[in-house]
Amino acid sequence: MGKLLYDEASIPSIVEYAQRLENKTIDEVNTEQNSYAGIHQNSQQIGQKQNKKNKGAFGNYLEEAYFGKKNDNKSQADFPLAHLELKASPLKTLSNYEVRVKERLVLNHFTFTDIDKEVFENSHFKEKNENILLVFYHYDSKLFPGDLKVQLADLWQCLKEDEAQLRADWQIIADKVHAGKAHEISEGDTLYLGACTKGATAATSMQLQPHSDIKARGRALCFKSCYINHIYQILTQRKEHGRILENRILSKNETFEQKINALFNPYLKKSAEEICAIRGEKYNPANKSRYADIARKIVGLKKSEDNLYEFNASGIQLKTIRVEPDGTSIESLSFKNVDFCGIVEEEWEESDFYSAITSKFIFVLFKHDTKDSEYYLDRVVFWQIPENDYQIFKDVWEDTKRKIKSGDYEHFIKISENHVSHIRPKGKNAKDVMYTPQGSYEKKKCFWINQEYIQKNVLDKVYKS
DNA sequence: GCATGATCATGC
DNA sequence: GCATGATCATGC
Average pLDDT, stretch A231-256? 87
Residue A404: is its pLDDT beyond 90? yes
From the CA of A380, how many Å to the C1' of B11?
25
**Is A293's CB less than 7 Å from nucleic acid strand B?**
yes
Beta carbons of A310 and A168 less than 8 angstroms apart? no
From the CA of A154, how many Å to the C1' of C5?
36
Element (H, E) at A110: strand A105-110
Q: How confident is residue A74, by pLDDT bands cut at 50, 70 and 90? A: low
**Is A425's CB less than 7 Å from nucleic acid strand B?**
yes
Q: How far apart are CA A100 and CA A93, in angstroms?
A: 6
The whole-number pLDDT of residue A1 equals: 47
Closest to A197 in 3D by CA, of A172, A229, A222: A222
Angle between helices A290-299 and A272-279 (to 10 degrees): 40
Average pLDDT, stretch A42-58? 59
From the CA of A210, how many Å to the C1' of C4?
46
The whole-number pLDDT of residue A317 equals: 96
The whole-number pLDDT of residue A47 equals: 47
Q: How far apart are CA A165 and CA A255, in angstroms?
A: 8
Q: How confident is residue A40, by pLDDT bands cut at 50, 70 and 90? A: very low
Residue A394: is its pLDDT beyond 70? yes
The 3-state secondary structure of A163-213, one letter per residue: HHHHHHHHHHHHHHHHCCCHHHCCHHHCCCEEEEECCCCCCCCEEEECCEE
The whole-number pLDDT of residue A36 equals: 60
Measured between alpha carbons, how far apart are the two ends of chain A, in Å? Answer: 68
For the ranges A42-46, A114-118, A149-153, A347-351, the lowest mean pLDDT is seen at A42-46
Average pLDDT, stretch A1-18? 89
List CB-based contacts (under 7 A) with strand C.
A 96, 287-289, 291-292, 295, 303, 305, 318-322, 331-337, 426-428, 434, 444
Closest-approach nucleotide to residue A329, Cα vs C1'? C7
The whole-number pLDDT of residue A261 equals: 96
The whole-number pLDDT of residue A201 equals: 62
The whole-number pLDDT of residue A71 equals: 67
The model's pTM is: 0.93
Q: Which tens digits make up the pLDDT trace of A411-432?
A: 999 999 999 999 999 999 989 9
Average pLDDT, stretch A327-347? 95
From the CA of A287, how many Å to the C1' of B8?
7
Residues 119-178 of A with CB under 7 A from strand B: none
Contacts of A218 (CB under 8 A, 6+ apart): A109, A111, A197, A198, A200, A205, A206, A207
The whole-number pLDDT of residue A408 equals: 95
Percentages (nearest 5) of helix, strand, coil residues in chain A: 40, 20, 40
Q: Which tens digits make up the pLDDT trace of A90-106?
A: 999 988 888 999 999 99
